[in-house]
Amino acid sequence: MSVIETVDLIKQYNGVTVLDLPDLKIDQGERFGLVGNNGAGKTTFFSLILDLIEATEGQVLSKARPVSRSDHWKSYTNAYLDERFVIDFLTPEEYFEFVAGLHRLEKTEYDFFTDRFADFFNDEILGKGKYIRDLSRGNQKKVGIAAAFMSSPEILIMDEPFPNIDPTSVIRLKKLLKNTEATILISSHDLNHVTEVCDRIVILEKGIARHDLQTEKNTLEELERYFTAE
């Protein structure tokens, strides 16, 4: 069953088409990777799914209903796109408690979250008495990524989650992504990481889906050939 679907979706800026996805479908439980060079339209697509920007034509459906006409999707969708998704004048503890309150999590659920992410935080996030804005860029990102997992969403969207975090945390994040039951949408410039995590990868070029691949043992080589071809 498709949980995300585009219907004649077009996004233009000043008359220039930056995204043209007429009929892309993402199924429930799929780990979906989106790759492409800068300006390919990856963040634009995610922003349309989250109703952060308005489509020029067409629409995005979440569970068969337009995201732009209803808030139904907000109860089961979570995302981290960039630092705008955190409140940086709070401490990590204050921010996590705020997010937990939004989702009406019980204390046992909150405690489970902090236990689950203890390794990912690597003793660098909690109990340090720092505001999020005073953490390193990588640790700020880890706060935002962790918060996106907190409510155990059905759909989890992450734009470039791997840069700026340390190698140990990247390995732990990939394990978390592979072990979650959510439908996951990830964009990444790192072909190795996205191939390891995702079972389906779409190559986006100038807003158009050029290739739609099921991940196999030769997928990484296929992606590398595509992006190195003259």
Q: How far apart are CA 3 and CA 25, in angstroms?
A: 8
In the chain, what are the domains?
A: 1-75+185-230 (3.40.50.300)
Interior angle at CA 220, CA 49 and CA 23, nearest 5? 30
Confidence at residue 230, expressed as pLDDT on a 0 to 100 scale: 55
Instruction: Please state, rounded to an integer, the average pLDDT across all residues of the chain.
Output: 95
Mean pLDDT for 190-207 is: 96
- The SS3 of residue 210 is strand
Confidence at residue 40, expressed as pLDDT on a 0 to 100 scale: 94
Mean pLDDT for 119-127 is: 93
Any residues with CB less than 8 A from the CB of 28 and at least 6 apart, and which? 1, 2, 3, 154, 183
Whether residue 41 contacts residue 19, with contact meaning beta carbons closer than 8 Å, is answered with yes
Which two tokens mark 78? Answer: 């979570």
pTM check: above 0.95: no
Residue 166 C-alpha from the chain's centroid: 18
Confidence at residue 229, expressed as pLDDT on a 0 to 100 scale: 82
Q: Tell me which of 16-20, 64-68, 84-88, 204-208 is least confident.
A: 84-88
Tell me the pLDDT tens digit for each residue of 30-80.
999 999 999 999 999 999 999 999 999 999 999 999 999 889 999 999 999
Mean pLDDT for 124-132 is: 94
Residue 187 C-alpha from the chain's centroid: 7
**Torsion sign (Cα): 185, 191, 197, 200:** positive
